[in-house]
Structure formats: structure tokens, C-alpha cells
């Protein structure tokens, strides 16, 4: 994750930034972050957006809003220096940096507040005001005063019923905590959701129009002032110097499935593979694209349960996976990618679909969340970090090579399965947490 950054020119506009957080999930952090980003971008500003904590779906929307890839800032997965390098890189090129928080401001360990404290990020609190009036100020000031090392500098009232409702919200707020916007409640502005969160951006043909509508609502609520972030010190921290060339995957071709079925891909993971020297080749099994000639393969997570019939009908894809493994080539399968390799998968309607049959076992979708949490897991090549979030269960006769631990002492402890040259787990691994281990496996090292 080490990067060299260019010093900010004294002739460039001042850097502005904000962490967009809230007292709880479901308050509207993503829509407000996207609205601010889109509004700033329409005014010609260079915007970079980050997402706190593990998430694939919100960043897809935020990428469309800002026009740039959205990276994770997570003190557990990326570490302090990894986060610092990403922020320093953004500070060197952007005029506005937005960081969408995760859950409530103080929830989790590490929390959004911990990240804000670490890098001096001022916080903009988004509060769903739909069921409150004067209590809005009490909640907002409580967030501001809860920790003295976190600067909550402004507040947004979301889902407001109208001008009369808005007038009830600001009294009681201190001068240090201005109400920057009161956004109206509008069902037309809500994005559709499914069992893992927002519907993927690639599946929403009207997303750009909706993002413009969000930006219009933001501009109207801020009365055309174009508010976008708080002034900050552009020195978020100096990134470490670029290390000596380390390209153990030079000359290796790594194929990555990438489409609506296999979509849970951190941009940092692709960056990591390329920095390791790999030639990354994206392909879409759903589109019927063949597995490209490759030395290693990554099947990321996504929604195989929604595309199980298409997968089952793609005999050529399953045959190519079988040939890949028969040749002893490395294959990393994560969560949904792992489910696609099983003998069968039962979808949410109880229909059983034949899968690739390359990993013994059956998967089944559940109506409720089956696992959630940050994960630290041991590979034969060394430890990696990542997270787990799924609604399916797995029955397999394979013994776990190792089991993950959760830094928050949560119950989720995912297994790592090793089956020939196949490496499979429910964990979504964050490759920059141990590039050497990833390179050792994808480079075709001996299996245990």
C-alpha cells in the first residue's frame, strides 16, 4: 500500500474534506455522500470518495457519483499506513475528499470515529429527522460532545416533511454545529435494495438521473451555496516512499471473473495484483466470455444465487474451471465464487441448481443474515485480513485448514478450505493486507 505522493501545489484551491457519518445505519449516509460528490463534480471540482469499512455496494454508487474508483479506508484491513497512503494520494490530486462512514459514528472497533480521529477528518452528521422535532438537536449535540477527539462540525437533517418541519430542527443547535441542509423526504429518491444491501449500480439504468436528482436536492437545500466539505490541512500525513520493485507475479496472467454475478472486487485488490507484476485479465462468465489463458484465477463474491440458472447452463465455463484445476493452477474462490464451485446451490425460492461440482458440498440461501464481521485468517503463506457478509450456508465434507477470528469478538469465524490447487472461503480477502502471501499462492507455490 506504500505510495509516493506529489506535494500539493500552493496555487491549487484549498483542500476540503468531510466524513459523512450518522448515529446509526439507514440514516441516508450514502445518498448524502453521493449528492455532495455529484454536486461538486458538476461544478468542475476534482472529487475523491472513500468508504469506511468493508463494503462493495455503496462504493459502486459513490464511484458513479464522483467519477473515480472508491477505495476502502479501514484501520483493521488496510492498517494505519495503508489508509494514510490512500488519503495522501487523494490529497495530492483532489479538491474535495469525502469519506462515507459505516454504521453509527461510534459503532465497531475500529469505528468511523477512530478513523476520523486518526486523520483529523471533520465529521458531517446525517440524521433521519422524519420522526422527531426538537429532539433532533439533542441527538446532534450528543454526537458532537460524546468524544472530545472527534470534531463533529455540521449536521444534515434527512427525510424532512417540509419547511415547517425543518424550522423545528435547528433551534437548540450550538453555533459550532450548524444545520447545513434539510433534505426532503422523497420515495422517488430511494434506491432499491435486496438481501445484501443496495442493488448494484450496474443494474440501475436510471442511476445517473437519480444521482443528478440527489445533487439537485442538495443544491436546493444549501441554497446554491455549493457547500462541499470543511477546510482541512492538506497534509493528511506523508505516505511512505515507494519500496524497491517487488514483482513476484511478473509474467503471470491472473484472470478475474467480473460481472453482475462476480462483482465484489476491491479496487485495491486489482491494484495490488498489478503492483505485484501480474497481468490482470477481467472476463464475464455471464456474458459467455471464455476463461482467458491464465496462470491463476480469482472468482470473487457476488450474486451466484441470482444467476444460478445462467451459471448452470454455461457448461463451457464449468469445463474451463475443471481444466484449470486439473492442471494444478491456483484458483481463489471467495464467498459467491466458492458457491459457484459446489455441487449444488439452493436459491432463495428453494430451487436447486447444479453448480460446477469442483468442490464437494452444497450451498443454500437463507432468509436471514448468516454471517457478518471483520475477519483475520491464516493462509499457509501467512495471515490475511478481510471480512464476511452472506445469507447462505455451506455443507461440505472438507475439513477447514484454518478458521478466522473476529477483532470485535463476534461469532463469525469463517473456514479456509484447501482442495488441491483450490483455495476457498467465505472471507472476502483484502490483498494489500499481505501481498506476499497472495503472490506466493497465485504464483503457483507448493500447496500444503
Which active-site residues does the annotation give?
335
| Cα separation, 149 vs 414, whole angstroms | 34
- The CA distance from 333 to 255, in Å, is 12
Q: How far apart are CA 305 and CA 348, in angstroms?
A: 7
One-character DSSP codes across 77-127: TTHHHHHHHHHHHHHHH-SEEEEE--SSTT-SSS-HHHHHHHHT--EEEEE
C-beta of residue 390 within 8 angstroms of C-beta of residue 371: yes
258: burial class by Cβ within 10 Å (0-12, 13-18, 19+)?
Answer: buried
Instruction: Kindly state the cell numbers that stand for 386.
Output: 478481510
Q: Which three cell numbers stand for residue 90?
A: 487523494
Helix axes 29-42 and 207-221, enclosed angle (nearest 10): 90
Contacts of 46 (CB under 8 A, 6+ apart): 93, 94, 95, 96
Amino acid at each position: 500500500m506504500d505510495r509516493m505522493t506529489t506535494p500539493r501545489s500552493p496555487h491549487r484551491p484549498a483542500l476540503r474534506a468531510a466524513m459523512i457519518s450518522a448515529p446509526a445505519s439507514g440514516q441516508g449516509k450514502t445518498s448524502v455522500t453521493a449528492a455532495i460528490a455529484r454536486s461538486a463534480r458538476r461544478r468542475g471540482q476534482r472529487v475523491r470518495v472513500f468508504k469506511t469499512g468493508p463494503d462493495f455496494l455503496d462504493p459502486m454508487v459513490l464511484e458513479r457519483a464522483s467519477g473515480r474508483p472508491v477505495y476502502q479506508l479501514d484501520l483493521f484491513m488496510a492498517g494505519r499506513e495503508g489508509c494514510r497512503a490512500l488519503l495522501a494520494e487523494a490529497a495530492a490530486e483532489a479538491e474535495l475528499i469525502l469519506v462515507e462512514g459505516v454504521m453509527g459514528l461510534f459503532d465497531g472497533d475500529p469505528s468511523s470515529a477512530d478513523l476520523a480521529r486518526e486523520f483529523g477528518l471533520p465529521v458531517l452528521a446525517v440524521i433521519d429527522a422524519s420522526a422527531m422535532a426538537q429532539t433532533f438537536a439533542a441527538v446532534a449535540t450528543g454526537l458532537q460532545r460524546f468524544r472530545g477527539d472527534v470534531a463533529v462540525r455540521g449536521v444534515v437533517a434527512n427525510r424532512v416533511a417540509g419547511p415547517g418541519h425543518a424550522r423545528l430542527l435547528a433551534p437548540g443547535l450550538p453555533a459550532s454545529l450548524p444545520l447545513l441542509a434539510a433534505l426532503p423526504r422523497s420515495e422517488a429518491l430511494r434506491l432499491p435494495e435486496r438481501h445484501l444491501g443496495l442493488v448494484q449500480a450496474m443494474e440501475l439504468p436510471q442511476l445517473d438521473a437519480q444521482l443528478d436528482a440527489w445533487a439537485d436536492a442538495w443544491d436546493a437545500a444549501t441554497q446554491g451555496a455549493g457547500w462541499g466539505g470543511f477546510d482541512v490541512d492538506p497534509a493528511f500525513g506523508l505516505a511512505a516512499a515507494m519500496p524497491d520493485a517487488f514483482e513476484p507475479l511478473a509474467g503471470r496472467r491472473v484472470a478475474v471473473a467480473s460481472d453482475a454475478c462476480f462483482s465484489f472486487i476491491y479496487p485495491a485488490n486489482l491494484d495490488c495484483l498489478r503492483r505485484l507484476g501480474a497481468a490482470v485479465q477481467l472476463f464475464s462468465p455471464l456474458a459467455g466470455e471464455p476463461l482467458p489463458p491464465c496462470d491463476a484465477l480469482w472468482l470473487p463474491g457476488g450474486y451466484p444465487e441470482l444467476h444460478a440458472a445462467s451459471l448452470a447452463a454455461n457448461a463451457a465455463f464449468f469445463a474451463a474451471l475443471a481444466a484449470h484445476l486439473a492442471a494444478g493452477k491456483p484458483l481463489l474462490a471467495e464467498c459467491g465464487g466458492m458457491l459457484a464451485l459446489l455441487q449444488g446451490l439452493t436459491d432463495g425460492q428453494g430451487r436447486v441448481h447444479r453448480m460446477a461440482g469442483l468442490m464437494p458440498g452444497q450451498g443454500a440461501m437463507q432468509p436471514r443474515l448468516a454471517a457478518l464481521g471483520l475477519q483475520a485468517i491464516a493462509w499457509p503463506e501467512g495471515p490475511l485480513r478481510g471480512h464476511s457478509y452472506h445469507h447462505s450456508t455451506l455443507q461440505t465434507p472438507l475439513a477447514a485448514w484454518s478458521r478466522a477470528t473476529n477483532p470485535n469478538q463476534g461469532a463469525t469465524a469463517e473456514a479456509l478450505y484447501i482442495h488441491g490447487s483450490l483455495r476457498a472461503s467465505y472471507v472476502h480477502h483484502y490483498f494489500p493486507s499481505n501481498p506476499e502471501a497472495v503472490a506466493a499462492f497465485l504464483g503457483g507455490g507448493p500447496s500444503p
